[in-house]
Amino acid sequence: MSIRLFALLSVVLCICVRGDVTLAQHVAASPASSDWNSDLPLAEAEDINPDPRIVEVNMTAKFASVEVAPGKRVNAWTYNGGLPGPFIRGKVGDRLIVHFKNELDQGTTIHWHGVRVPIEMDGVPGISQPEVLPGESFTYDFILRDASLYWYHPHVFSAAQVGFGLYGALLVEDPDDGVGIDDELTIVLSDVGFDRTGKLEPADSGGPAGMVFGREGAYLLVNGKVMPTLRVRSGAVQRWRIVNTAKSRFFFIDLDGQTFTKIGGDGGLQEESVTSDAMLVTTGERVDVLVTPTGKPGSSLVVKAMLYNRGYGSVEYRSVEDLFTIQFTDEPALPKRALPKITRTITPPSGVNATPIDIVLTLPPQDANGQSEFHINGVPYWKAKPFRAKLGETQLWTIKNESDWDHPMHLHGYFFMPVDEKNQPIRPMLWKDTLNVPMKTTARFLVAFDERPGQWMFHCHILDHAEGGLMGTVVVGDVPTVEHIHKTGG
């Protein structure tokens, strides 16, 4: 067996070995409506500003021991001591101010994934701000322009820092979105690897093969807990906004075969809803779904993560894993109810005169030292020149993935519109900021760089791949350009 295969297998093995974990005990939470209960709350950020249009929070990155299941603790890297970090909520148009302090022992930043921030607030060290060094502070301050679920995470050694626990959800609500489902839940899916003493699995475990695969932690976390319980009344319609904050793991969610009605994703509501039997959420992506879990009162079912082939090692020797339990209350099931029809009028960017940008993703054979790197157009990030766009320019990006791994590609600062081979928007239309490009396929999108000049990152959101070279920048407008260096993180 080649060394590479051996190393890969050992990564796969440590992914599959999982300690026995007892189910989280459920406690009653505040019901959003009479038939709703949940023990999946996210710790909310405290808003210290009395102005109703300003959300102002203190956020400190620090080490903390966190209980992810009864008796199971991990020495995580956290925001404000919790896993995930504080759940920040605002309304569309609000101003968000975050007083950030770094109490870790290495530099970090906060990137606001998906949010249309000014470049100064984008959190990329060496490009949009200096690293926030240990003991230092930085204030993020911007307007929440678009309703959707977003998330935040560091952009320094991000495969390590995100994998160790630095991530949280940011929900920007539109009270007039017309969805009208009271029972709402934000679900942060992630994973973490640690040993019986709570020590984190090293960020370089598995060596180059670990990087090529994209390291996954053995513990699947749902709002920071292993196998929590959601208590619901059978037949109650719920709105779940889900974000995948894992550094590499995809979540392909099965609700005991019951359907998901997807009403939106990364950039808010979509043109019209789509119903499916399972829901794929790749790293960095968000989905907004309506579900109606149904079962005998008093019974329960398990929501599972099914196998999804994102490359060698993701299905071989792997099995379906449990995510959380839905426990039906004893109340009689609610009668079946038609879901509200949710639509949105979306005007896509025009593909006429769009500047073509061709991107090819490859994984060349490992070098003589056994090292691997991912390439964009033949070079890893640190040897690549930035792409360019004029302010106001619309571009058609064609991303050809020639490698044997899926790559969920994320562009900072702008939403884009996926299109087909004829450059027509894929229906129903949905604004995206992260788009999975499955292995050996090509994806295309239109993006209008219509505002906010600056140097913006794009990269694979399997953060090990990003660190392994699968990153780039696009310089929008006539602004000073920074050369790519190694340490920008995905």
Residue with nearest beta carbon to ligand C2O: 113
Yes or no: say if 442 and 418 are a contact pair by the CB < 8 Å rule.
no
Query: What is the dihedral sign for C-alpha 175, 178, 181, 182?
Result: positive
> From the list ligand C2O, Cu ion, none, which binds 407 (C-beta under 5 to 8 Å, kind-based)?
Cu ion
Yes or no: say if 21 and 196 are a contact pair by the CB < 8 Å rule.
no
Closest CA to 245 of 200, 285, 305, 214: 285
Which of 248/273 has CB closer to Cu ion? 248
Question: Residues 233, 459, 465, 484: which binds ligand C2O (CB under 6 A)?
Answer: 459
> From the list ligand C2O, Cu ion, none, which binds 111 (C-beta under 5 to 8 Å, kind-based)?
ligand C2O
Q: Which stretch binds ligand C2O (CB under 6 A): 341-349, 389-397, 418-426, 457-465?
A: 457-465
Which of 156/236 has CB closer to ligand C2O? 156
Helix, strand, coil percentages in the chain from 3-state DSSP, rounded to 5: 10, 40, 50
Which of 155/375 has CB closer to ligand C2O? 155
Q: How far is the CB of 450 from ligand C2O (least distance, A)?
A: 21
> From the list Cu ion, ligand C2O, none, which binds 465 (C-beta under 5 to 8 Å, kind-based)?
Cu ion
Yes or no: say if 464 and 248 are a contact pair by the CB < 8 Å rule.
yes
Which of 72/459 has CB closer to Cu ion? 459
Long-range contacts of residues 45-53, Cβ cutoff 8 Å, at least 24 apart = 45/80, 45/86, 45/87, 45/88, 45/89, 46/86, 49/97, 53/91, 53/93, 53/94, 53/95
Question: Residues 247, 310, 410, 432: which binds ligand C2O (CB under 6 A)?
Answer: 410
**Dist CA 155 CA 158 (whole Å):** 5
How many chain residues bind ligand C2O (CB under 6 A)? Answer: 11
Which of 88/457 has CB closer to ligand C2O? 457
Quick one: residue 283, left, alpha or beta (phi over 0 = left, psi -120 to 50 = alpha)? beta
Q: How far is the CB of 389 from Cu ion (least distance, A)?
A: 23
Q: Which residue has the tokens 């038609």?
A: 338
Which H/E stretch holds residue 13? helix 3-16
Which of 38/488 has CB closer to ligand C2O? 488
Scan residues 135-164 and list those touching ligand C2O (CB under 6 A).
153, 155
∠ Cα 362 113 476 (to 5°): 70
**Dist CA 425 CA 272 (whole Å):** 13
> From the list Cu ion, ligand C2O, none, which binds 375 (C-beta under 5 to 8 Å, kind-based)?
none
Q: How far is the CB of 490 from Cu ion (least distance, A)?
A: 9
What is the maximum span of the chain, computed from C-alpha positions, in angstroms?
Answer: 66
Question: Residues 113, 407, 432, 484: which binds Cu ion (CB under 5 A)?
Answer: 407
Q: How far is the CB of 178 from ligand C2O (least distance, A)?
A: 29
> From the list ligand C2O, Cu ion, none, which binds 113 (C-beta under 5 to 8 Å, kind-based)?
ligand C2O
Distance of CA 462 to the CA centre of its chain: 10
How many chain residues bind Cu ion (CB under 5 A)? Answer: 4
Quick one: residue 334, left, alpha or beta (phi over 0 = left, psi -120 to 50 = alpha)? beta
Query: According to the binding rule CB under 6 A, does residue 386 interact with ligand C2O?
Result: no
Question: Residues 38, 45, 109, 111: which binds ligand C2O (CB under 6 A)?
Answer: 111
Q: How far is the CB of 8 from ligand C2O (least distance, A)?
A: 26
Amino acid at 167: Y
Question: Residues 284, 313, 348, 472: which binds ligand C2O (CB under 6 A)?
Answer: 284
Distance of CA 221 to the CA centre of its chain: 13
> From the list ligand C2O, Cu ion, none, which binds 460 (C-beta under 5 to 8 Å, kind-based)?
Cu ion
Binding letters toward Cu ion, positions 422-461, x by CB under 5 A: --------------------------------------x-
Long-range contacts of residues 130-134, Cβ cutoff 8 Å, at least 24 apart = 131/107, 131/156, 132/100, 132/102, 132/107, 132/108, 133/102, 133/107, 134/102, 134/103, 134/104, 134/105, 134/106, 134/107
Query: According to the binding rule CB under 5 A, does residue 310 interact with Cu ion?
Result: no
**Dist CA 431 CA 349 (whole Å):** 11
Cβ atoms within 10 Å of 264's Cβ, excluding its own: 26
Query: According to the binding rule CB under 6 A, does residue 490 interact with ligand C2O?
Result: yes
Residues found near Cu ion in the complex (CB under 5 A):
407, 460, 462, 465
Residues found near ligand C2O in the complex (CB under 6 A):
111, 113, 153, 155, 284, 410, 412, 457, 459, 461, 490
